[in-house]
Amino acid sequence: MGNNTKLNVLDVKDPSIRTLHFTWIAFFITFVVWFNHAPMVIAIREAFSLSTAQWKAILILNVALTIPARIVIGMLVDRFGPRHVYSLLLMISGGLCAFFAMAQSFEQLALARFLMGFVGAGFVIGIRMVGEWFPARQVGLAEGIYGGWGNFGSAAAAMTLPTIALAFGGENGWRYALLVSGAIAFFYGIVYYKSVRNTPKGSTYFKPKKNGGLEVTSRRDFYFLIGMSVPMYVALGLLAWRLSPSGVGLLSQPLTYTMYAALIALFVFQVSQIYRVNQEMLADPDSIPDMHRYKFKQVAILDINYFVTFGSELAVVSMLPFFFIDTFGLSPVKAGLLASGFAFMNLAARPGGGWLSDNFGRRRTMLILISGLAIGYFLMSQIGSTWPVALAVIATMACSFFVQAGEGAVFAMVPLVQRRMTGQIAGMAGAYGNVGAVTFLTVFSFVNAQTFFLVIACSAFAAFAASLFLEEPKGHMAEVMPDGSVALIEVA
């Protein structure tokens, strides 16, 4: 890995470029599978006679499990390496997709969609893989290409699956289309395992000293980390309430209370693991060398920014095809194609956000992109049936540029916080993206689309305020080698 700032994605003879391509394709496939239900909305609702409330519950369930899954996957990646974890996740994704495609009742649909939230954790795996193969001066652009081209999978699903369903024909065409996407995921898991390495030859795969919780380097950050863990459980509690008899009635009251108790127990367990990992630091914070310290506030700011950027993208791509159908009376195929414009921008926007962050400063880039996001969602909140469809699509794509460029800027910085814990930091930031998705989709279940977009625009103020405190990475990042020696990695 050199320090050349240029990145030639066409040079497939370069092992780092080849690894990047194999990895973004893996992410692309997980997104096709994760969001293959959205363009099938009409067929699925007709097949099961679903009410609007039931369908909105399916949308929330689809992103719920990803909250804890990204934390767990982040730990597994740091422990076992991205090659093994990504391959296994892809193969499991294929099986879960088949379960959803063959469901025979609303309850089976809901369970399958809930379990498929685990598929969305795939993003975290590639962040660590790409971070291992590219130097700091290239990592923002490389992570942007990985995230942007992979995120395009939701657009690809919207563009292709309705046509595949029509090709099969009949009332079960949608099932066959979903089975095709699941089969591709399963077999690509085998391809990925046979095609990549965790690190370049001669490089060491750094692991956290302890597993089970994120390491911090001060007592203040210890309590800060616990506080930042609370919203993830609140989001899951919000989901349980929404599915309770007080919401759509999918869960009985006793089961709802059981879920509340389980979430509390899980939170207590997580706190105990965080304490276990940081016990030595809490006993003597001054024992940690300055070169090994980092500020957890950097992670918290990235979490908040990803809550607004990726959280809003997940929510919007889940509801946008139906929004175009409902607002403009379009066919499912046409609505899917037009709605795919929101995710289509990932191809350029997310790499663009990473490139801007690499070259013009992490903090400045973040502030500009979050401001553009707020303006874009405000514009989308004004879309109505009197608008020309073409203008609505342009407004959607303009907004999505800032959303996805903001995501690229977030993950341009994630690998620079603390390299050996990149998987866990990426997992926490990624989980916050799903907290945002659950939050915004819950709001959507109560309000119309215009108010939904306006709420997202207002939430951007929190991300903007947090970004004012973001610090630029400087100097070198210290990593402990397996033999106890220290390697210094340049970050600026």
**Predicted local distance difference test score (pLDDT) of residue 175:** 94
Record the pTM.
Answer: 0.80
- Residue 169 domain flag: yes
**How do residues 64-95 score in pLDDT, each as one tens digit?**
788 888 888 888 888 888 999 999 999 999 99
Mean pLDDT of the chain: 86
pLDDT category, 491, cuts 50, 70, 90? low
- Residue 9 domain flag: no
- Residue 5 domain flag: no
3-state helix, strand, coil in the chain (%, to 5): 75, 0, 20
- Residue 260 domain flag: yes
| CB burial string 412-423: b at 16+ within 10 A, e below | bbbbbbbbbbbb
**In angstroms, rounded to a whole number, what is the distance separating the alpha carbons of residues 183 and 124?**
22
- Residue 7 domain flag: no
Total of domains in the chain = 1
- Residue 333 domain flag: yes
- Residue 399 domain flag: yes
Identify whether the C-beta of residue 444 lies closer than 8 Å to the C-beta of residue 318.
Answer: no
pLDDT category, 483, cuts 50, 70, 90? very low
pLDDT category, 204, cuts 50, 70, 90? confident
More confident residue, 205 or 145: 145
Q: Is beta strand 476-480 parallel, antiparallel or unpaired with respect to 486-490?
A: antiparallel
**In angstroms, rounded to a whole number, what is the distance separating the alpha carbons of residues 208 and 273?**
14
CATH no. for residue 337?
A: 1.20.1250.20
- Residue 361 domain flag: yes
**Predicted local distance difference test score (pLDDT) of residue 5:** 52
Query: What's the domain range around 358?
Result: 15-198+206-490
Is the pLDDT confidence value at 1 over 60? no
**Predicted local distance difference test score (pLDDT) of residue 367:** 96
pLDDT category, 185, cuts 50, 70, 90? very high
Is the pLDDT confidence value at 356 over 70? yes
